[in-house]
Amino acid sequence: MIGSTLERRPARRADSSAPRRPGRAGRTDRPGILWAAPALLFFGVFALFPIVLVAWLSLTEWSGLGDPVFVGLDNWLALPQDPEAPGAVWSTVRLTVLCWAVQTPLALLLGVWAAGQQRNRAVLSALFFLPLLLSTAAIALLGHSMFDPNFGLAEVVGPLVGVPDGNFLGNSDLALYMVIGVLTWQFVPFHALIYQAAARQIPRMLYEAAAIDGAGRFRRFLSITLPQLRHTIVASSVLILVGSLTYFETVLLLTGGGPGTASRVLPLHMYIQGFRAFEMGDASVLAVLLVAVGTLLSVLVVRVTGYSRMTSEREGL
Amino acid sequence: MRSSPRRPVLGALAVVSMLGLVAACGSGGASSEIQLWGLQDDLLNESTEQIVASYNENAETPVNYSYYVNDPYKERLQVALGSPQGPDVWLNWGGGNLSQFVEAGQVTDLTPMLEQEPELRDAFLPSVMEVGTVDGSVYALPMVGTQPVLLYFNQEVFDEAGVEPPQTYDDLLELVDVFTERDITPIVLPGQQAWTEMFWLAYLTERIGGPDVFQAVIDGEEGAWRDPAMIEAMERCQELVEAGAFGTSYASVTYDGGAATELLTSGEAAMFLMGTWEYGSQLASAPEFVESSLGWTTFPMVEDGEGDPQALVGNPSNYFSITANSEHVDASFEFLAETLTSDAYLDSLLELGQVPPVVGIEDRLAASPGADHATWVYDLVDNASSYTQVWDQAMTPAQAEVLLTNIQRLFLNEITPDEFAAAMEQAS
């Protein structure tokens, strides 16, 4: 679609004005394949090529030693027999849905608030955005020490919230929620930043007009801010949903997927299959699935929400 | 129109990726050094570096020593071994870990070379050499102290409660009640890391059924996981959990980072089943505690059990092996032969509280910093009727992964011993 609009443009321009230098007529001034080459090369070497390689590895038996042995679809057919796979899928679904459901409202409210003009806003926003500056590994390790039942904050806070022994990470019913909590703390600032930038773009005249019409603060948020942020919500949601399929280091460092397999999500299961059990073929099957699901999910969200139609948010202004 | 520009792009991609492959293959090549790979260990690395440096002063083929953190090391080794970037000499754990490399044809058989140097072959304790031996051929030589798993305890906590270290499993159960009443965690169990739970299962199996029970698992015998001794050991593990032997928050505790050790030294817990590396790290971090209150004993016996109370479970040693297609097989062997039993190397181990699995070093052990611990461990290993390697190292990595996952479930009471056996059977 983008291609077609671009192609029309030079023709129109040639009609209307600006005579061209001879010899450089037509579509030559349009960014060509050469312009895209660096990005394409990068994408090809670091994204496409590995994906093809992994797809091929999923058809082999390989422990990392020696050469991969081609086994056809054996690894794919063995997937239903993997006793840990259903649990890992379920954990991943819960993690994805909950991450989205918790992070979106928090980030939205925080972002919209941070876009305002209140006193102390700049200082408080800077504090809220602090987790953005920390590396994922540092945050996970921090979380791990905080949840230590004997020497961490968990020992103090646990009794207050009904976990007298501070056993958060070692409790099968809680472990995944602790992971979600840490992920939320880490990623809400990023999404709040996106919402803040988008909320600042909303024309003030909309609010002024609504205020004249007698709309209260809540009404203005519901009828102006939210609809105006529609595309931002979609973009942030895609990032959260697809991102949830890649959360791995946080889980590894926080719970190791445990206790048992209570918080073993698919990416971690893939890692364990690949680099602990050295079943590279089985791990590659999971990798291919994750790529497919991630792509499908983002296409689906974009289609369902109408984001792909690229219509303006500013109609009538 | 839209598809035509893509073809050259794909072509270019193919060319670039092939160039990448060619570059990756070409950058290795011949090296004039012996590449020696080891594990990150702050205490050990320093002395090993010194020993390598002094060896290099007169060596025709110098040694280049590099070391890595545990889990990344295993990943790196698995992929690099046999490639030009791989090591000539590398650390491994013997057992199933080693045998998968042997099966892949990646390891030099040291037997003929050891025939030439019988002194070297006979220098090590036989039970420790056994683990570096696959199908009767020696593929690995011990390179650190022997590390049996022992029951460490806090003497002060025991004295305050007026009790003695457990001799039997029933003693242990009684102690659990004594310490629970005194609001002390009876036993530290860093259950977030399943291998610490594995020690309990391995020792209980050993005490109840003897070494043959686990040997049957390694030999792949049918029904090995359903051996009555194995099932009973699992039931006893769950019994201990049920009795509160490990407290309630054990599944949140980790060993890496020192939280578990801290619980024992601070007196918040009474006992800790751990490998003798624990002694070395306490000697470095809490020397006063080691001096005043650290006690140790063998794993308690089980009444009516077939196992010998002197039999051991643990890490017999870590080993050095030589890559099969290395360009420096002979030079590498020479390095190992000159180093592993040299006075300087043994002294460096002894200084760290380690117990080299080398025959006839009683006098030097008695003069070492952790003399009472070192001589005690040495005698124990020397007299042990059997020395079972920790299970996860004795198995292939794929089986070990299933084992560790299910041990954690067993200790969480999520599965029964029967389900455990079924899960292991499916994996083998």
Instruction: Concatenate the DSSP letters of all residues of B306-350 into one string.
Output: -S-TT-EEEE---EEEEBTT-TTHHHHHHHHHHHTTSHHHHHHHH
User: Does A203 lie at the interface with B, CB-CB under 8 angstroms?
Assistant: no
> Could you tell me which chain B residue has the CA closest to the CA of A37?
B9
Q: What is the pLDDT of residues A230-282, one digit of tens each?
A: 889 999 999 999 888 888 899 999 999 989 899 999 999 999 999 888 899 99
Output the pLDDT for position B156.
95
User: Does A37 lie at the interface with B, CB-CB under 8 angstroms?
Assistant: yes
Q: Has residue A16 got a pLDDT over 50?
A: no
- Residue B242 sits at the vertex; the CA angle it makes with B240 and B244, to the nearest 5 degrees, is 75
Residue A21 lies in a domain: no
A148 chain-B contacts, CB cut-off 8 A: 252-253, 259
Closest-CA distance of chain B to residue A139, Å: 16
Closest-CA distance of chain B to residue A269, Å: 11
Q: CB distance A166–B82 less than 8 Å?
A: no
B423 chain-A contacts, CB cut-off 8 A: 83
Count of CB atoms within 10 A of residue A160's CB?
8
Closest-CA distance of chain A to residue B217, Å: 18
> Could you tell me which chain A residue has the CA closest to the CA of B72?
A275
Short-list A204, A220, A207, A185, CA closest to A107: A185
Output the pLDDT for position A312.
61
Q: Are A258 and A264 in contact (CB under 8 A)?
A: yes
Closest-CA distance of chain A to residue B144, Å: 24
Report strand pairing: B147-154 vs B269-275: antiparallel
Q: Are B95 and B65 in contact (CB under 8 A)?
A: no
Q: CB distance A45–B104 less than 8 Å?
A: no
Residue A105 lies in a domain: yes
Q: CB distance B252–A279 less than 8 Å?
A: no
Burial label for B273, CB within 10 Å (0-12, 13-18, 19+), is buried
Which helix H or strand E contains B95, and what residues bound it?
helix B95-103
Helix boundaries (H) for chain A: 2-16, 33-43, 49-57, 74-78, 85-114, 121-128, 136-146, 153-157, 175-200, 204-212, 217-220, 226-228, 230-244, 249-254, 266-271, 280-305
Output the pLDDT for position A163.
86
Cβ partners under 8 Å of residue A55, min gap 6:
A284, A288
Output the pLDDT for position A52.
94
Output the pLDDT for position B283.
85
Q: CB distance B78–A40 less than 8 Å?
A: no
Q: CB distance B401–A276 less than 8 Å?
A: yes
What is the domain range of residue A203? 83-309
Q: Are A193 and A276 in contact (CB under 8 A)?
A: no
Of the candidates B79, B193, B262, the beta carbon closest to that of A64 is on: B79
Q: CB distance B398–A279 less than 8 Å?
A: yes
Residue A15 lies in a domain: no
Cβ partners under 8 Å of residue B391, min gap 6:
B198, B201, B202, B214, B217, B400, B403
In this prediction, residues A36-55 reach a mean pLDDT of 92
Q: CB distance A165–B249 less than 8 Å?
A: yes
User: Does B40 lie at the interface with A, CB-CB under 8 angstroms?
Assistant: no
Adjacent-strand bridge partners of B67: B38
B422 chain-A contacts, CB cut-off 8 A: none
Q: CB distance A65–B75 less than 8 Å?
A: no
B247 chain-A contacts, CB cut-off 8 A: 165
| Lookup result for tokens 């990943």 | B75
> Could you tell me which chain A residue has the CA closest to the CA of B395?
A277
What are the DSSP calls for A275-313, one per residue?
Answer: IIS--HHHHHHHHHHHHHHHHHHHHHHHHHHTGGG---S
Q: CB distance A167–B251 less than 8 Å?
A: yes
Domain annotation for chain B: domains and CATH numbers: 34-145+316-388 (3.40.190.10), 147-314+396-427 (3.40.190.10)
> Could you tell me which chain A residue has the CA closest to the CA of B415?
A260
User: Does A308 lie at the interface with B, CB-CB under 8 angstroms?
Assistant: no
Output the pLDDT for position B27.
38
Residue A131 C-beta-side C-alpha neighbours within 13 Å? 19
Q: CB distance A260–B253 less than 8 Å?
A: no
φ, ψ at B134 (rounded to 5°): -120, 125
Q: CB distance B13–A33 less than 8 Å?
A: no
Q: Are A242 and A297 in contact (CB under 8 A)?
A: yes
Count of CB atoms within 10 A of residue B360's CB?
7
Residues 63-122 in B contacting A (C-alpha not used; CB under 8 Å): 71, 74-75, 78-79, 81-82, 100-101, 104-106
Distance CA A134, CA A109 (A): 22
Q: What is the pLDDT of residues B116-142, one digit of tens each?
A: 989 898 999 988 998 899 999 999 999
| Lookup result for tokens 């017999």 | B316
| Lookup result for tokens 């097989």 | B329
Q: CB distance A166–B249 less than 8 Å?
A: yes
Q: Which of A122-131, A133-142, B178-187 has the lowest mean pLDDT?
A: A122-131
User: Does B398 lie at the interface with A, CB-CB under 8 angstroms?
Assistant: yes
Higher pLDDT, residue A241 or A27: A241
Distance CA A298, CA A277 (A): 31
Closest-CA distance of chain B to residue A202, Å: 36
Give the count of domains, chain A: 1
What does the buried/exposed string (b/e) look like for A296-314 if buried means 16 or more CB atoms within 10 Å of the residue's CB?
ebbeebbeebebeeeeeee
User: Chain A interface, mutation test: which of B252, B254, B268, B395, most A Cβ atoms within 10 Å?
Assistant: B252
3-state secondary structure of B186: strand
3-state secondary structure of B207: helix
Q: What is the CATH number of the domain that holds A248?
A: 1.10.3720.10
Q: CB distance B251–A144 less than 8 Å?
A: no
> Could you tell me which chain B residue has the CA closest to the CA of A275?
B75
Burial label for A213, CB within 10 Å (0-12, 13-18, 19+), is exposed
Output the pLDDT for position B369.
80
In this prediction, residues A110-121 reach a mean pLDDT of 87
Q: CB distance A154–B252 less than 8 Å?
A: yes
Residues 284-343 in B contacting A (C-alpha not used; CB under 8 Å): none
> Could you tell me which chain B residue has the CA closest to the CA of A66?
B104
Residue A231 lies in a domain: yes
User: Does A250 lie at the interface with B, CB-CB under 8 angstroms?
Assistant: no
Q: CB distance B78–A256 less than 8 Å?
A: no
> Could you tell me which chain B residue has the CA closest to the CA of A151?
B259
Q: Has residue A41 got a pLDDT over 90?
A: yes
Q: What is the pLDDT of residues B275-300, one digit of tens each?
A: 998 998 888 888 999 999 999 999 99
Residues of chain B falling short of pLDDT 70: 1-30
Q: CB distance A64–B254 less than 8 Å?
A: no
Q: Read off the DSSP letter of residue A273.
A: I
User: Does A83 lie at the interface with B, CB-CB under 8 angstroms?
Assistant: yes
B9 chain-A contacts, CB cut-off 8 A: 33, 37, 40, 44
Please give the share of chain A, as a percent, with pLDDT higher than 70. 87
Distance CA B366, CA B369 (A): 8
Residues 191-210 in B contacting A (C-alpha not used; CB under 8 Å): 191-194
